[in-house]
Amino acid sequence: MVQGCETPQIDSLARRAPRVSYRMAEVASILDEPGTLALFGFAAGASPGDDPRYLQVALEGFDTPAPFELWRVDAPVSCGIEGTLRWSAGGGWLFAAIELDEREHGGLEASATVAYATLRQFVGQRAEKHVLRVWNYLGAINQGSGDAERYKHFCDGRAQGMGAFFAEGFPAATAIGHRGAEHRMQVYLLACDQPGSRVENPRQVSAWRYPRQYGRTPPSFARAMTLPAQDALAISGTAAVVGHASAHEDDLDAQLGETLTNLEALLASAGMAAAFDTHSPLKIYVRHSADAPHVRDFLQNRLSGVPVLLLHGDICRSELLVEIDGWRYA
C-alpha cells in the first residue's frame, strides 16, 4: 500500500453526516421519503407499526403536538429485524435499536449487559462497525441511593456488555430516565463504516475518569464525537457538571447557564465555530414538568432560532435539573 495516498483518499470519500431534524408530519409519509434512516416519536406508549426504522422513545414531549425526529441520509436505505434488535442502513450509516423488558433478562444490570452485547455482536459483523453515538433510556434512573442507584447498576451492566469493543475509546452518549414502565430499557445507536473523532470538554473530567464517589464503574462515554467528514458534531448529554462535580444544586437558571457554557466549550474543543444555529437541533431533558415553560423561555432568549425539543426526563444525577444533547453541523 502506498503511504500518503491513503489519507486524502479517505477524506474525499468521507461519509456526509446524516441530517437530523424535527418534523411535524405523518409517520407513514416520512418513512416513504427516500433516505429516511430512522424516525423517532416521543411518547410513553409502544411503537405503532412494524417498520424497524421507527422507534417510539419512552419520553413524553412538552410540545403539543409533538414533532418527530428524522435522520436522513443521501442513499437508499435497507432495514430489518433480528430478534430483539431492529436496524436500518444506507450510505455507510447504520441505525440499530434494542428494547428490553428488564424482568425478562435478569434485572437492570443484566439487561444493560444483554443490550450492549447484542448490539456489539450485530455491529461487529457489519461494515458500519464504528459506533459513534448511543442513546440510553431507562425507567426510575435515580431509584436507590449511593451504589444501589439504578443508574450505577446500568453503568456496571453497560461496561460488561461493551466488553473490549470500545477499547480504543467510548462513543458519545446520553443516559436519561423516562417516566414510562419502569422495566422498559431502550438503547439505540448510530454507527458508520468510517471512524469519528472523540471530543472531550476541557472544563470537565472525562466521564470514564470520574472518581469512585460516582459509582463502581465510571460512565462509558465521550463528551462528543466529530463525524467522519468533520461536517457535524454529535454532542453527548451535557449538564451543569464542572470538573467532576455537579454545580448549582437547586438553581435551574444557573444550571442552564453552566450547561450552555459547557456546550460552547465542546464546540471550541472540536474546532467548530461558536454558537448553535437553525440547522442544529438540540434535545432538552427537563426533570420537573413545572420547569418546562421557564426552560423554553430561557432557551428562546439564549438560543434564538435553534430547533429545540423539550422532553420530560430524569438526569442521572438526582441534583441535576436539566440536560442538553444534540447536533452541531459545520
Which positions are catalytic?
323
CA 129/CA 301 separation, integer angstroms:
40
Q: Spell out, one character per residue from 105 to 144, where the chain touches ligand 3EB: x when CB under 6 A holds, - when not.
A: -------------------------------x--------
Q: Are 118 and 110 in contact (CB under 8 A)?
A: no
**Which residue, 89 or 141, has its beta carbon nearer to ligand 3EB?**
141
Phi, psi of 169 (to 5 degrees): 145, 150
Q: Does 59 bind ligand 3EB (CB under 6 A)?
A: no
**Which residue, 84 or 318, has its beta carbon nearer to ligand 3EB?**
318
**∠ CA 21-24-29, rounded to 5°:** 95
CA 197/CA 318 separation, integer angstroms:
30
What pairs with residue 326 in β-bridges? 235, 282
Q: Spell out, one character per residue from 240 to 279, where the chain touches ligand 3EB: x when CB under 6 A holds, - when not.
A: -x--------------------------------------
Alpha helices by DSSP H, the chain: 6-12, 27-32, 108-124, 150-162, 252-269, 292-302
Candidate list 237, 281, 313, 326; residue touching ligand 3EB; CB under 6 A: 237
Candidate list 186, 236, 255, 280; residue touching ligand 3EB; CB under 6 A: 236
Q: Does 316 bind ligand 3EB (CB under 6 A)?
A: yes
Q: CB 42 → ligand 3EB: shortest distance, Å?
A: 18
Show contacts with ligand 3EB in window 160-179 (CB under 6 A). 173-175
Q: CB 219 → ligand 3EB: shortest distance, Å?
A: 4
**Which residue, 119 or 207, has its beta carbon nearer to ligand 3EB?**
207
Size of the site for ligand 3EB (CB under 6 A): 12
**Which residue, 189 or 310, has its beta carbon nearer to ligand 3EB?**
189
**Which residue, 237 or 326, has its beta carbon nearer to ligand 3EB?**
237
Strand locations in the chain, DSSP E? 19-23, 36-42, 54-57, 68-72, 78-82, 85-90, 93-101, 130-139, 172-178, 184-192, 197-199, 224-226, 232-238, 241-242, 245-246, 282-286, 308-312, 314-315, 322-329
Tell me which residue of 122, 116, 189 sits closest to 157, measured CA to CA.
116
CA 102/CA 116 separation, integer angstroms:
13
**Which residue, 219 or 281, has its beta carbon nearer to ligand 3EB?**
219
Burial class (CB in 10 A: 0-12, 13-18, 19+), 97: buried
Phi, psi of 74 (to 5 degrees): -95, 50
Which single residue brings its beta carbon nearest to ligand 3EB? Answer: 237
Q: Spell out, one character per residue from 199 to 218, where the chain touches ligand 3EB: x when CB under 6 A holds, - when not.
A: --------x-----------
Q: Does 221 bind ligand 3EB (CB under 6 A)?
A: yes
**Residues forming the site for ligand 3EB (CB under 6 A):** 136, 173-175, 207, 219, 221, 236-237, 239, 241, 316
